[in-house]
Amino acid sequence: MDSTNEENNKKKVNRKYIPDDISISILSKLPIKSLKRFSCVSKSWSLFLQNPNFISIFRNYFLSNSDPLDDDDVYLVFDWDAEQHEMMSFLSGERLQNVEYLAPPTVYDYYRFLFHSLGTAINGIVCIYINGVHEKAVLWNPTTTETYVVPSGLAELRQDGANCYIFHGFGYDPVADDYKIIQHVHFSLFGYPFSIEHKDNTFWEIYSLRTNSWTQLDFLMPTRHLRSVGTELYLNGMCHWWGKTPYEAYVVSFNLSNYEFFITPLDMHANFRFNLVVLNGSLAMISNVKNTTFYVISILGEIGVKESWIRLFEVDVMSCVNRPLTIGYKGNLFFLKKDGKAACFDLTTGVFEDIDSHRGGLIGQIIVYKKNLRPIGGINND
């Protein structure tokens, strides 16, 4: 009799069952990559990703698990007035009520133009450029006002015909302790580009601040689909940009240390618009169907794995919105309105409110920025 009871108890102990409430509590605290892998363990766990209650718990924990803000955490705003004069400022505070006006870099003051920035500020440094056929790049620390003019690339030094070069990313190589810029070059004839699929007519080159020189890369890689704000960014030693063909859309991720690249497909059709953003340290994508106000925010769990995208937020905003700008601290989603002003949607509270640009300018770009006094060329003196 005793042996029978003991055997029954063993069966109960060995039963492979975890109550759903405990599973939800555990899985909702996992990183995106781990969550997608654990969803393969059982059918019930995989269904959690389709459960609105689980997704709500997961995204609330995801947003709350962020670093606290300090006085150096601000937003760098690029805007301009009706006469196309560039204006820049730092915005901070709970309602972005604090403003610190900045003087734009004067390295190109002989030429009126609009600055654009390659998506991400790194150690207080941004890479700004003139958007055109022949783009010029400058490294700039808005905190110290220091500037560093990037020399001409290999394409500009060649005399064998016209060419077009497009910046694809600015980032930090943690292995070499070096800041780098990657750009794509293709040659043209009478103003018309040769086929960029032909290796003899196109190449990539990368700039190193440490050596102050460009190096040509001997391989082909998919290029940016557009040069607009939100199509590229830097995160964790890699530059990422959005690419597209008539048949598919994808994210290209380029490793600044070993120069390897990865392609992550997007499960979207041709009518979708995309914006690459960073949300709580993860690579994210804001997508919507053109001419609609319904936006989806998806988080990428593992680079190169299409199935690791998680559809995390769905946002329906006012009809006055034109396009997303970025995602900021504490889940603030910034939009550009049709009147050229900016608005903020709080992913935590669902509150949508206008942002005062303080000088009445038209918003061009908003960058999450942390003030840093480190000199731009400091790595060359290590």
Quickly state the pLDDT bin for 112 (edges 50, 70, 90): very low
Q: What is the pTM of this model?
A: 0.83
Distance between CA 166 and CA 97 in Å, rounded? 36
What does DSSP assign to residue 225?
S
Distance between CA 224 and CA 167 in Å, rounded? 9
182 and 192 in contact (C-beta within 8 Å)?
A: no
pLDDT at 335 over 50: yes
Number of H helices, E strands in the chain: 6, 25
203-216 pLDDT, tens digit each: 899 999 999 999 99
Structure tokens belonging to residue 195: 């086929």
Distance between CA 274 and CA 356 in Å, rounded? 26
- In the prediction, which pLDDT does 143 show? 95
pLDDT at 282 over 60: yes
- In the prediction, which pLDDT does 13 show? 47
User: What are the start-end ranges of the H helices in 163-221?
Assistant: none
Structure tokens belonging to residue 95: 């309602």
Radius of gyration of the chain (CA): 24
- In the prediction, which pLDDT does 136 show? 76
327 and 277 in contact (C-beta within 8 Å)?
A: yes
Which backbone phi and psi does 48 adopt, to 5 degrees? -60, -35
Give the CA diameter of the chain: 97
Question: Which domains are delineated in the chain?
Answer: 15-64 (no CATH), 73-375 (2.120.10.80)
pLDDT at 10 over 60: no
- In the prediction, which pLDDT does 255 show? 97
Q: Which residues pair with 207 in a beta bridge?
A: 181, 214
- C-alpha closest to that of 306 among 334, 337, 267: 267
Structure tokens belonging to residue 155: 């394409």
